[in-house]
Structure 1
Amino acid sequence: MRIYKVGGAVRDRLLGKPVTDIDWVVVGATTEEMLAKGFRPVGADFPVFLHPKSGEEYALARTERKSGRGYGGFTFHASPEVTLEEDLIRRDLTINAMAEDDQQNLTDPYHGQRDLEARLLRHVSPAFAEDPLRVLRVARFAARYAALGFTVAPETLELMRQLSESGELEALTPERSWKEISRALMEDQPQVFVEVLRACGALKVLMPEVDALFGVPQPPAHHPEIDTGAHTLGVLQQTAIHKQPLTVRWACLLHDVGKGLTPEEEWPRHIAHEFKGLKLIKAVNERFKVPRDCQELAVLVGEYHTHGHRAFELKPSTLLELLQSFDVYRRPQRFEEFIAACEMDARGRKGLEERSYPQADYLRGAATAARSVAVQPLLEKGFKGPELGEAIKRERLKALKAYKEAASA
């Protein structure tokens, strides 16, 4: 039995980056031997075990072959005869196909170290094309390591293009796709994820609503970058710079999809794009079975982001409707995330990344003013049921009028 550290832990140590998760591969062992040493089995499809003390994952060396469509369409074979090189060749990228023994002796049969130095994301073998999930994984690694100068090797991008055109991407489950998308959006340069998917044709398969934004112009007075797709990438980049949570990043990716529906003869204006985009946002949310908090914020940001930009112009009654839509009284955090998304949208414009966004504090102040209305005095006056609701609404409107007047003074 020989045990090796593999994959990301080796890659990140060689890059000088912090190593978080460690994966191990065990060569020359049987399931029975692993169980005898106290390892606990966890893999339903292939032999993976948890270490009795550290809890880290140890997998028996295995080979695999394509037996069906999609991510799950593989037959695995694990036995003591499978070599380390045979195990490594089934991995996606050369930089993930290196192994180390306990003395840090490197096993690198597919030149991963060379590609690390060349800053290339290159597939290990033609078997890469058997797993459509790897298109998303490579795009995610591109987003993670873009700051270090990594790019996708041309021949790997070509294989990704073939996969995108083959129909295999449609076989991916929503859960697997969302896992990769959500992880990619939380990388340091999430816009690179979208760029790589677009470069290999995967974006128009997975998210045609976002792909349709490229080449669609906007008024240069408001959007110096002009192209709506370029703007979306800039907004995504701002979400990473400002360390926004996943909810905000997802909402920002989808906030302008309605502009992809504008007839060419109406360009560069996009009248009612907020309303037109709602059905598209809901369709993308459903396609990837997106978590509810991300779904809800994306829909609300899509519908109301221009309200955020025009905050100072909104009538008190419109302000109140906006606050009610977000349920700021019970869910203040969601409104805070909406404000963040609006600010990222404003900053995601070429040359305007550093411009202040005073609407943020104004909107926060409006929410505070509405929340400050006390219910108890109205109860003491005898209001109840629907009448109480109307009385609270009147008082909140009065508070917002006073707030707007004070802010304008």
Structure 2
Amino acid sequence: MHFDGAGGTQVASPVVVAVTGVMQAAVSNRGTNYKPARRSGDIVASARAAVADLVGGDPAGVVFGASATALTYLVARTLAQGWGPGDEIVVTRLDHDANVRPWIQAAESVGATVRWADVDVRGGELPVAQFRELIGPRTRLVAVTAASNATGTMPAVREIAAIAHAAGVLTFVDGVHSTAHRVTDVKELGADFYVTSAYKWSGPHYAAVVADPAIWEPLEPVKLVPSPKSVPERFEFGTLSFELLAGITAAVDHLAGLTGATGGTRRERLVESLTAVTAYENGLLERLLTGLEKIDGVTVLAAPADRCPTVSFRLAGQAPAETARILGEQNICVSNGDYYAVEYFEAAQLRDSGGAVRASIYHYNTEDEIDRLLEALRAAGPSSLG
């Protein structure tokens, strides 16, 4: 039973077929002179359109890369070329380190100042009011997650972005954990940059960062002299992985078909599918939370009611790694540790003692699986290794 979707989902069958199909066909570097070159170009264009449909963006603003971390470093280093001493950035203690460390390191490299938005550990929230104090005339960027990969908390990104935009500040939103569970519209969200990883929504290990082409246009990344100068190509280093891009398109089509709808645009089908996914996963989440409340010794890390279907918890007297091992021996896949949410677990004073156990629900999970997880936890009991 796979309760580790926050760490990576199982790949949908059409994705495997698409990836294999490209690797079995004749493809080459993109061009127009012969069919394999044109095929590669078509694969890239299709993937840009698919990601744009998934998040409500512009295909011309979709940049691909090996991972969300790599893409965040790319954007951070590029933006930092325009920063200097006295400039400020804002990061949060709720975020995955991939949306924290690249910004801190970029700021440090040019002498800019880092300001921190604190998480309310007791309630699991990221209070919005603090951003009014943190964002000022020298702020250049606010980096914030759309959903915590540790607790499922979904900060009020729209409100945070509105505060930032009122001050002329860019926002970089980590959508890696949220994209699979909610309908995403980057414009409505207020995300100037939005990063997402396909392996979190049934696809391959490849990622995209999406922004309006007008935002990309003035930015100049460090790149090879003969590589493309156009947007978005100038932000993509080397030859793209055509087979993985085909897998991304297949994954988006898979998500768009979850309800069986065939009419309307792909974007419309995605909205219908992900709306249904949210409702279904919320039902499973409620079942899990209700069950955990009834198990003696279980402490659930706090999060608001409106959250992604991800739960972190600890079992009294038992190290999180031991709990995960016991469950793993029963073929119940959960994560343990800090899941790269370093600042959150430091704030919660849990990192040094092993973090927590994470059960993350995806739309292929079932009520029966939730019940089996709860039963296994009831039987787990404290360990002498705790």
In the superposition, the TM-score normalised over structure 2's length comes to 0.28
Does 1 or 2 have the higher relative contact order (CA < 8 Å, sep 6+)? 2
| Higher gyration radius (CA) | 1
Indicate the structure with greater helix content: 1
Indicate the structure with greater strand content: 2
